[in-house]
Amino acid sequence: VRLSVPTGFGHMVMSGWLIEFKRQYPDIALDLLFDNRVDDLLRDEVDVAVRVMSEPPQQMVATELAQVRYVTCASESYSREHPM
């Protein structure tokens, strides 16, 4: 199964899921692509793609796996010098 996952989300969130999947289904070969593009998944012969986006392209079928929350972070010194 050729699986394309976003670089950061794939490493930070999905790695545990993928390890557990391999434990449960050792006979299924996973070909992982860490990629953020949505260009042409057919051309890249991708079976399943995970993407972080608000609206999926109309020509694709999408299922929400999780909600993503964005947070802005800054050091104390930076936030004192540049009030938010």
Q: What pLDDT is stored for residue 27 in this prediction?
A: 96
pLDDT, tens digit, for every residue of 48-78? 888 877 777 777 788 888 777 888 889 999 9
pLDDT, tens digit, for every residue of 17-47? 889 999 999 999 999 888 877 767 767 788 8
Q: Could you tell me if residue 81 is left (phi over 0), alpha (psi between -120 and 50 degrees) or otherwise beta?
A: alpha
Token digits of residue 80:
């004192």
Domains of the chain: 2-81 (3.40.190.10)
How far is 73 from 3, CA to CA, in rounded Å? 31
Q: What pLDDT is stored for residue 63 in this prediction?
A: 83
Q: What pLDDT is stored for residue 44 in this prediction?
A: 77
* pTM of the full structure: 0.64
